[in-house]
Amino acid sequence: MNAGTHNTDLLTRSACSVWHPCTQMKQHESLPLVPIARARGTWLYDFDGRRYLDAISSWWVNLFGHANPRINAALVAQLAELEHVMLAGFTHEPVVQLSERLAGLTGNTLGHCFYGSDGASATEIALKMSYHYWRNSGRSEKTGFISLTNSYHGETLGALSVTDVALFKDVYAPLLRQCAQVPSPDFRLAENGESPRAYAERCAQALERYLESHHAQTAALIVEPLVQGATGMAMYDAEYLRRARALCERFEVHLIADEIMIGFGRSGTFFAHQQADIVPDFLCLSKGITGGYLPLSVVMTTDKVYAAFYDDSVTRGFLHSHSYTGNALACRAALATLDIFRDDDVINVNRTKAAHISRVAAPLARHARVRNFRNTGMIWAFDVDTDDAEFARNFHAAALERELLLRPIGNTVYFMPPYVINDREIDMLVTRTLEILDVLFK
Ligand SMILES: *Cc1c(COP(=O)(O)O)cnc(C)c1O
């Protein structure tokens, strides 16, 4: 079969046998799937030799490029030793090392790691642990959860309950538990003339009012620190996190930091909450944790939470489990990812690279259609002024024609490239994005 035939054949079969995520499958009648044969660095290749710059890190997971030689080598070595063993009653070197190194990265404030396989499971684990902590502490009336408006914490039923995206949530409303939403500190929602910080403070006051009347029934507040990703890269001032931390302390409510997207350097610091100089009670990590190789998530927590479960009674323990908890290959990929952070001084190198990308991308901010051009760490986003309900699809299709993988969220276009993106690729990304805007709005 020649390459072109293989492309077409794979598309037809995939649209039939594979039910793709986050997709109305019928739309693939007009917008074909993109078949990928292999990938290297920042590039994805199909069977015809067409290529796409992975400017969104394959849904925000890839940090150091595809087929990264160091992660590949670590996985090959691990395969020769141990691919997997159950983690109940058993343990292994990669999971212990990973837990110790992650704890070290929190200054050993979050010294206990509980593993899952994906982000939504991490959210579930944090919610259950928080509730169970209060129950074990004689406070079983604390069953409520608070999240921010426009938050995203995953799509299993528990995670969806604290997610605030109508499109994903409304259909399933009868299945979900009621959770409270307090105003998002997204700076775009500030009043005219109000600074992002002043707006963050105003939102913290709204949280305070909520907690004043509901703290006795509330177990936890869950937030995406600094950037609300899935609802359009909403960015906010770190002051909100400082205030939220203090309020949670005062009202005896847990703070869950969902850093599933923003952790592992995406915010510019290793963890985003570090920019507010706070420690959450629970830290959820996934996505970049394995460098984009294998599914793995973890919830990290404090000695205090851990101690509340440590008991002679079985039911006071956290009996939650997933079959692949602490998978050895995934942990090894995560360790190789952490090695790259350390050996290549990635956080500092990214600071220089981010400043360069912001300079190169500056013309986008001046485009007539562009609003709210914004940046946090290794994320850039802007909103496009258009009434076109099909904007995201049209932009995505136009990007594919120009060798770019970009997938706007509503009217928001964002770049979230692998950290290994080079200068030539950055130029290409910006130039072609400008070209797409000009073509769509000529
Ligand atoms: C992606 C994401 C999740 C869900 O992770 P999955 O692995 O897709 O289940 C949760 N929270 C945030 C902030 C995310 O970006």
| Residue-range domain boundaries for the chain | 1-33, 37-55+346-440, 72-343
- The answer on pLDDT for 2 being more than 60 is no
Return the best residue to mutate from 121, 153, 283 for the ligand 1 pocket (most ligand atoms within 8 A of CB).
153
CATH architecture type of domain 72-343: 3-Layer(aba) Sandwich (3.40)
> 92: CA distance to ligand 1 center in Å?
27
285 Cβ inside 6 Å of ligand 1: no
278 in helix, strand or coil? coil
- The Cα 151–Cα 87 span in angstroms is 32
214 is written with which tokens?
């509901």
> In terms of CATH architecture, what is 37-55+346-440?
Alpha-Beta Complex (3.90)
With 60 as the cut, is the pLDDT of residue 132 above it? yes
Average per-residue pLDDT for the chain: 96
In the predicted structure, residue 97 carries a pLDDT above the cut 50:
yes
Q: Does pLDDT of 125 surpass 50?
A: yes
Report pLDDT for 8.
77
Query: What is the structure's pLDDT at 208?
Result: 98
Q: Residue 150, class by beta-carbon neighbours within 10 Å (0-12 exposed, 13-18 middle, 19+ buried)?
A: buried
Q: Is the pLDDT of residue 71 over 50?
A: yes
Please say if the pLDDT value at position 1 is more than 70: no
Helix axes 69-81, 328-343, angle to 10 degrees: 140
Question: Cα(332) to centroid of ligand 1, in Å?
Answer: 21
Q: How far is the CA of 284 from the centre of ligand 1 (A)?
A: 9
Instruction: Assign 9 a pLDDT band (cuts: 50, 70, 90).
Output: confident
Distance 338 CA to ligand 1 centre (A): 20
Probe residue for ligand 1, chosen from 124, 264, 287 as the CB with the greatest number of ligand atoms within 8 Å: 287
- Do residues 308 and 289 make contact, with C-beta atoms less than 8 angstroms apart? no
**223 touches ligand 1 (CB under 6 Å):** no
- Centre of ligand 1 to C-alpha 154, Å, is 5
User: Residue with structure tokens 């999971």?
Assistant: 95
Give residue 147 CA to ligand 1 midpoint distance, Å: 14
Atom number in ligand 1 closest to CA 118: 7
For residues 196 and 161, is the Cβ–Cβ distance under 8 A? Answer: no
Is residue 6's pLDDT more than 80? no
Give how far Cα 64 sits from Cα of 16, 179, 287, 381, Å. 33, 37, 13, 21
pLDDT in tens, 235-245: 999 999 999 99
Residue 124: CB within 6 Å of ligand 1? Answer: no
46 Cβ below 6 A of ligand 1:
no
Q: What are phi and psi of 98, to 5 degrees?
A: -65, -45
Task: Give me ligand 1 centre to Cα 367, in Å.
Answer: 31
Ligand 1 midpoint to CA 22 (Å): 13
Does the pLDDT at position 7 exceed 90?
no
**Structure-model confidence comparison of residues 49 and 371, the more confident one:** 371
Ligand 1 atom at shortest distance from the alpha carbon of 59: 1
Q: Is 258 in the pocket of ligand 1 (CB under 6 A)?
A: yes
**24-36 exposure pattern, b = at least 16 Cβ within 10 A, e = fewer:** eeeeeeeeebebb
Asked whether the predicted pLDDT for residue 3 surpasses 90, the reply is no
Sign of CA dihedral 218, 224, 227, 228: negative
Q: Is the CB of 430 under 6 A from ligand 1?
A: no
Using a 6 Å cutoff on CB, does residue 256 contact ligand 1?
Answer: no
Residue 196: pLDDT above 80? yes
What is the rounded CA–CA span in Å between residue 203 and residue 266?
24
Distance (Å) of CA 32 to CA 12, 23, 131? 9, 12, 44
- Closest residue by Cα to atom 6, ligand 1, is 119
| d(C-alpha 222, C-alpha 1), whole Å | 51
- In short, whether 114's Cβ falls inside 6 Å of ligand 1 is no
In whole angstroms, give the CA distance from residue 96 to residue 73: 20
What was the pLDDT predicted at 4? Answer: 64
Confidence of residue 121 (pLDDT cuts 50, 70, 90): very high
Q: Is any ligand 1 atom within 6 A of the Cβ of residue 119?
A: yes
Ligand 1 pocket check for 292: Cβ under 6 Å: no
Can you spell out the DSSP letters for 334-349?
A: HHHHHHHHHHTTHHHH
Which residue, 312, 309, 287, is CA-closest to 298?
287
Whether 263 is in the pocket of ligand 1, judged by its Cβ within 6 Å, is no
Measure 309 CA to ligand 1 centroid, in angstroms. 26
Could you read off the pLDDT of 31-64 as tens digits, one per residue? 888 999 999 999 999 998 899 999 999 999 999 9
Contact 111, 303 (CB under 8 A): yes
Q: Which residue has the tokens 């790259």?
A: 340
